Amino acid sequence: MITAFGTGISEDFDILKLRYYKIVIMTDADVDGAHIRTLLLTFFYRYMPDLIKEGKVYIAQPPLYRIEKNKQHYYVYDDLQLEQLYSEIGKTGIKEIQRYKGLGEMDFDQLRDTTMAVEHRILKKVDIEDAVTADETFSMLMGDNVEPRRDFITENAQYADMDF
């Protein structure tokens, strides 16, 4: 990444050498993707903070579900939006519900239409508060102090999607 960005790192960092207008983090929509985003945001915050301060880092929002009903496709980005869609179109007559466990499960057209095409994609600009939160979460999860990590796991275990 450091070589691809062209900026260098830490004290050698030079934003004027950035080769891209935007750096887009694209990870799975599930918990595993959130972990990877946390790691990447922590890296940017610690070693390339000017990328964030200058508004160059974005997070792509891939869909979590694809619903097909009456030959129409709907892409849904979280469970709340799924319930809202059900209330709008009803559950009867749904031909297919596909839950994406990862970006690798999407074919090229789906990935292009939902996450890559400028006219359809959803990007969230990362601000410094997002990066600080990611850094704090990373430090807490990887730190020597067990109590905060245990509390975090206890409070968030209900959101885990265990796929054994």
| 79-126 pLDDT, tens digit each | 899 999 999 999 888 898 888 877 888 888 888 888 888 888 889 998
Q: Are the C-beta atoms of 34 and 25 separated by less than 8 Å?
A: no
Edge-to-edge strand list for the sheet holding 23-25: 23-25, 57-60, 123-125
Edge-to-edge strand list for the sheet holding 94-99: 72-76, 65-69, 94-99
For residue 145, the model assigns a pLDDT of: 76
Which CATH number describes the domain made up of 1-8+19-62+120-134?
A: 3.40.50.670
Task: Determine the straight-line distance between the first and last CA of the chain, rounded to whole angstroms.
Answer: 32
CA gap 9, 108 in Å, rounded: 33
Give Cβ neighbours of residue 98 (< 8 Å, ≥ 6 apart). 65, 66, 67, 68, 105
Domain boundaries, the chain: 1-8+19-62+120-134
Mean pLDDT value across the chain: 85
pTM of the model: 0.74
CA gap 131, 48 in Å, rounded: 11
